[in-house]
Amino acid sequence: MPLIKLLHISALICWCGTLLYLPALVAAGTRRSDDLFYRDHAHLTRMVFTLIATPAALVAIISGTALFFIYGLFELWLIFKLAAVTGLVLCHALFGVLILHIERTPEKSIAARCTAIGLFVVGLIGLTLWLVLAKPY
């Protein structure tokens, strides 16, 4: 069980780290200086999303689900935590949509959306940490 918890925490660090990094990465893709930069940047953004963020999210969610089944945790704080994690999943999906959008037509208005989603992600990560650390034993 400690290994599953270690796997869960490690995957969460990777996933949350990429969720904090993706707003800046996506917003930088809207600044088009030349075609070579744009092509390589779009490739890098998609690679970070598909090869780092998404697998880390899947491992974090699967190992977290295994943890509360193993420990038999079915309490009220867990429902609130799962709601916060659902918000993180929705933000993850929104970043995927924004990445597809900047690959087709890079617009300056995407930077404002990235900022809003990034601030929401920071709030959700903070809420999740608070719920986990303040849970009753």
Residue 76: the pLDDT is: 86
Average confidence score pLDDT of the chain: 89
Where in the sequence is the domain holding 60, given as residue range(s)?
2-133
Q: How many domains does the structure of the chain reveal?
A: 1
The single residue listed with the structure tokens 């990465």 is 25
Percent of the chain at pLDDT > 70 equals 93
> In the structure, what pLDDT confidence band is assigned to residue 34 with cuts at 50, 70 and 90?
low
Task: Quote the pLDDT of residue 29.
Answer: 80
Q: Provide the pLDDT for residue 106.
A: 73
Of 15 and 110, more confident: 15
Q: Which residues contact 121 (CB under 8 A, 6 or more apart)?
A: 16, 19, 20, 23, 88, 91
Measured distance CA(63)–CA(75) in Å, rounded = 18
pLDDT for 32 equals 64
- pLDDT tens digit string along 73-111? 788 888 999 999 999 999 999 999 999 988 888 777 888
* Cα 13 to chain centroid, rounded: 10
Contact of 24 with 114, CB cutoff 8 Å: yes
How far apart, in whole angstroms, are the C-alpha atoms of residue 107 and residue 88? 24
